[in-house]
Amino acid sequence: MGGDDRIRLFCALRLPEDVIDALAEWQLSLELPQIVRAVPRENLHVTLAFLGWCPAARTGEVVDNLRSRAARIARPQFSVARYRETRSVGMVVLSEDEGAASLAHGLQRDLLGGIERFPWLPHVTVLRFRQRPRLRPPLPDVGTFSPSDAAVYRSVLRSTGAQYEVLETVALGG
């Protein structure tokens, strides 16, 4: 990639492997209508800030900002709060965490020039669809968990859906 190339970037908390396993197993247990597609396990994460199309040369700034802010928060603690649908996605909404919300809002202010949504909604997008199915699935049993790191991701759009690539990871809490 050259510095003038444009790439889709976002910052997110990475989920522990046992949480990813539990969510993937939960997805498989659902009897999904054909209009619903489960998000692949390698794409499960908690978005902090979606930057969209950016010059590839901006990646270093994004990593530096994430590293600086992530070092100042304690590892967040989450549990599953509820299931929610929008027009195009189904999500597992997580409990609130003040440090993670501060991280998300700080990244959004620094990298986007303003906060996308207040309060920040910690969630994992688990399903995608073109027509809202109005599901009422049982909640996945993931217990309480704590991500240990965050990452800057590149999102590549493909005919089969977005593919996410971790560009850099940073530890939470220093």
Q: Is position 52 within any domain?
A: yes
- Which sign, positive or negative, has the C-alpha torsion 25, 26, 27, 33? positive
Burial of residue 173 (number of CB atoms within 10 Å: 0-12, 13-18, 19+) = middle
Q: Is position 173 within any domain?
A: no
In this predicted model, what pLDDT tens digit does every residue of 22-46 receive, in sequence order? 999 999 999 999 999 999 999 999 9
Q: Is position 174 within any domain?
A: no
Using pLDDT thresholds of 50, 70 and 90, give the confidence band for residue 6.
very high
pLDDT score at 1: 47
Joined together, the tokens standing for residue 156 give 């590549």
Give me the percent of the chain exceeding a pLDDT of 90: 90
Instruction: State the residue range of the domain holding 39.
Output: 6-168
> Angle at CA 111, nearest 5°, toward 12 and 146?
25
Give me the percent of the chain exceeding a pLDDT of 70: 97
Q: Are 61 and 55 in contact (CB under 8 A)?
A: no
Q: Is position 1 within any domain?
A: no
Q: Is position 154 within any domain?
A: yes
Please tell me the distance from the alpha carbon of residue 23 to that of residue 73, in angstroms, as a whole number: 26
DSSP secondary structure, 117-160, as one string:
SSS---EEEEEEESS-----PPPP---SB---EEEEEEEEEETT
Please tell me the distance from the alpha carbon of residue 81 to that of residue 139, in angstroms, as a whole number: 8
- Which sign, positive or negative, has the C-alpha torsion 101, 74, 51, 78? negative
- The domain tally of the chain equals 1
- Which single residue is written with the structure tokens 């959004």? 108
CATH number, domain with residue 61: 3.90.1140.10
